[in-house]
Structure 1
Amino acid sequence: MDKENSPKIGIIYGTGSANPLSIHAASVNFCNLVFLYSHDISEKDFKQIEALKNHIKSYDITNLEQDLIIKILEEEEVSGITTFSEYKLYETSVLVNQLGLIGNSPNTVSNLANKLNQRKALNENPVTAIRSVALKPDKLSDCLNYVGIPAILKPMAGAGSQWTRKINSLEELEQSIEEFPSSIEYILEEFLVGHAKFDNAVFGDYVSVESVHANGKSQQLSITGKLPLTKHFSESGMFLPQPFSEKIENEILKVESEAIKTLGITSGTTHTEIKITKNGPKIIEVNGRMGGYVSELIKRAYGFDLIKATLKAAINKEVTFTKKEIHQIYFQVYLFAPENSFGYFKKIDGIDNLKTLSDINFVQILKNEGSKIDYRLGTENMVGIVFGASSNLENLHQITKLINDKICIRFNSN
């Protein structure tokens, strides 16, 4: 496609599921990019934007008034706006609506960005309803009695299982509220118990559904299998294809579709987390953006570019996806410091040992020496990812055990 005649897409950039280099790579021969970012992005992301300055337009919009941001986008003549960041969903929605571009309604985005609003909307549909309540610090007992024990405590807004904890008693709830940041608003939800038949499975009792919404159509691209959650509800890995029966697969797709319709989602990419319970699949939450680290997995397994699909959806261009049969288990295994760890990352010993494992293709280190280690920060606490492919689930299970045996994550404790 002629670069001068390619559509321009504005990227409201923030910490999220795609970095500047990967977004640019997906845009080649399709569109031109205009990055808008603030000083809250990481130094690494800023360096990537700087490295791309001959290929993209970029603007530092720190402390800019909204009318000036709109003026930038108007002068750039963008055809669409999108984001890959949970924390930029609402800001992106406001700009989309101000400029009359394609996107979800402000009410839909409010339900996506705020977990309490989302639960209220989902609870209007019996298929997607579970007990939930806004946590009131002066009425902890009442909140817990309403939701029941066990419960799950999590922020009303955020991503990656930060400040999330299973609550088994009023004392645990009181302790958590004392320990967690007081500046955050929390929601207390019914704890979804996985189906007992999967208690000893080598895979987790939940999945995510990756979907794209454009041109009046929603497409369910993939059901992503998961490794068991960590004790603190962080993802420990994901894989394709998913491990459940065709019957459960159809139930998963049905409940995801109901959630998408209930929330009124018509545009963009969604990442919906679903628990497999004895009463069928139940919605954990719907995220109004691409899932973290999932685009690389889908590209390896299916040869499909989810980032490019997100860019296409921003200008309401139809996305074509043909699911193919795959004959390996494509996986990502996440590396975390030992449970309940606090401190500062030093290094990972034993990375060279992983190179002897034929199923492993690549190991990515995510943290620099001196980076903070805090188990309460969810996937932000991840120090690395192991990428590979196995012939079956049992081999994947053995690989995950070998990974843990062969490496040692070093950190300075507080």
Structure 2
Amino acid sequence: MPKTDAAGTATISLPLGFYQVCETDAPASIVDIAPPFLLTVPMPHEKGWVYDVHAYPKNGETSVTKDIKAQEGFGLGAPVQFPVTNTIPRMEATTWTGYALRDTVDPRLTPNAATTGISSVTVDGVALDSSYYTKTIEGQTITMNFTQAGLDWLNADPSKAGQKIEVVFDTIITEVGNGTITNDADLWVNNPTFDPEGENPPIPSNEVKTYWGNAELIKRATGTTGNQGLLKGAEFEIYAAVDPYAATCDAAVAAGNAISINGTTTFTSNENGVISFPGLFVSDSENPVQNSEYRCYVIREIKAPAGYVLPDNADTAITVTVGQTTTTAHPEIVNTQQEVPELPLTGAAGKVLLTLGGVSAAAIVVGLMLVNRRRTHSA
């Protein structure tokens, strides 16, 4: 027979007879082919005969969907988590021999060893019995693979078809690179050896993206330019903005606590006056604002370099764009040198004032001594 068209229909002319129909090929998303069935041409129907016979064999179809959890940590070293969801397909003609979800992550992401790369496995929102699956990390590949107990659980009750299994892959961002990190996952059904060329090749998910950038600023003394007046030793914190995707970041206001980047929240200008914030979250392809090219942050100076004072407004709004690594988009942050305290009076006038002060003090002391002596004599 010809292949089914977009409407799932295939038509063929047959002579009168008795036939067995077998499905011999199916799209990649089909995990359970229709079992063979019998039909006759014509077929009896309501005390008559039907010569245009319609048959409706059914397949067990599945798909896998990938998402990104809304980002909570905004600096390098923060978790980046990818929920992957699969609806358990109907399996009537086939027995479950393998079920796995696998994610090979970008080299800029490191599988989280603390969770063996998977933070949770649930079925319709309820935690799945941990004896039903294993979690493994091999290089950049994280795998959730059903054990025999899990396969028995699937085979025991066909009504599980339609329930949603969600696996949350858990990684940590360690590098930014060009700022765009893509990710997808694979569903492996009845392919326990993970043979991509086997009878049941993996079913890929959609692709998702997470975007990151860097920030660098220059610290200098007021009134200097170029390589002059660059200040070492100024300390800063960086904060998320109340409105991270405002039309412009010029008026950004700090929100929440200081952001941690690779375990630190304090960043110090180097001998060239450069303050570096390596690796800041910008956006992703799944959460608002999707695929934004920039995000607003606020820099706060918490300690001025030696000999300088903090500016009246220690907060500076900045814009971080995807993959940015230069200082050109950021303002320079300046400090004013501490004022030198006034020196004591010197010269003739100063000497006269100091002399008069000394004489007055001596007269007071002599007076106190005479009063004390008279009191003693009287006693």
TM-score, with length taken from structure 1: 0.21
The structure carrying a bigger helix percent of its residues is 1
The structure carrying a bigger strand percent of its residues is 2
For the pair shown, the structure with the greater C-alpha radius of gyration is 2
TM-score, with length taken from structure 2: 0.23
